[in-house]
Amino acid sequence: MKTILLSILAALVLFVPNAAAHTYLDTTKPENGEVVVEPLQSISLTYAGKIEQGSTFKVITANGEQMETSNMTLVDGVLTGSFDNPLPNGDYTVQWNSISEDGHPLSGEFSFTVNAPETEEAEENVEQAEVEDSAQVDVSESEPVSVEDDKNNMPLLVVGGMLLAIIFISIIILLARKKTK
């Protein structure tokens, strides 16, 4: 009996810290607040751990329009969205929603500015995109994104500590009963 309780205690000590380690957004490209001075045709979000398929992000312009990604890929914790054409100069906000490997939902946002030299071809692409955008009517409403502190593991640490205390007290009670017999 003593061996079983000690084994349970050892297992909890070894595995509780791992259970408390949630995935979080580690880096972005472009970085939050960055001014991009070259044509930008993709955005990458790198996570500290694995995330699940279905994780996504949207790129919103300063006037609230969503830029459509042509391709979204997820490889080894890196979520990348590509665009058919480089993003026009302006301010952008990326709103991201992801699911960590343990099923924990993650969300947040970051912003950047594109200030790349414009060429005649880029100007034609912008004009063509504006014509296409004016032909489409977008009636969707954007929902507010709640930013969650993904690094806050306090509740799991408290629960782990309580479990350890319960096991420790149980061991003491069992040992005390054994001595009285």
- What is the extent of the structural domain holding 135? 23-150
Are 131 and 82 members of one domain?
Answer: yes
pLDDT attached to residue 134: 54
Strands (E) in the chain, as ranges, are: 25-29, 35-36, 42-47, 56-61, 66-67, 71-75, 78-82, 90-99, 105-114
Same domain, yes or no, for 172 and 101? no
pLDDT for 100: 86
Does 14 share its domain with 28?
no
Predicted confidence at residue 151, as pLDDT, reads: 44
Backbone angles phi, psi at 159, to 5 degrees: -60, -45
CATH of the domain at 51: 2.60.40.1220
Tens digit of pLDDT for each residue in 18-59? 444 567 899 999 999 999 999 999 999 999 888 898 899 999
Q: Are 8 and 46 in the same domain?
A: no
* Same domain, residue pair 117 and 137: yes
Query: Are residues 48 and 73 part of one domain?
Result: yes
Query: What's the confidence (pLDDT) of residue 118?
Result: 78
Residues in the chain, pLDDT under 70 = 1-22, 119-157, 181
Whether 101 and 173 share a structural domain: no
Query: DSSP states of 72-91 as a string?
Result: EEEETTEEEEE-SSPPPSEE
Q: How far apart are CA 112 and CA 134, in angstroms?
A: 25
Co-location of 102 and 170 in the same domain: no
Token pair 């205390």: residue: 165
> How many structural domains comprise the chain?
2
Tell me the backbone φ, ψ of residue 81, rounded to 5 degrees.
Answer: -115, 135
Say what the pLDDT of residue 131 is.
Answer: 57
- At residue 18, the pLDDT reads 46
> Is the same domain home to 102 and 159?
no
Asked if 2 and 56 sit in the same domain, the reply is no
Same domain as 168, residue 80:
no
Name the pTM for this structure. Answer: 0.56
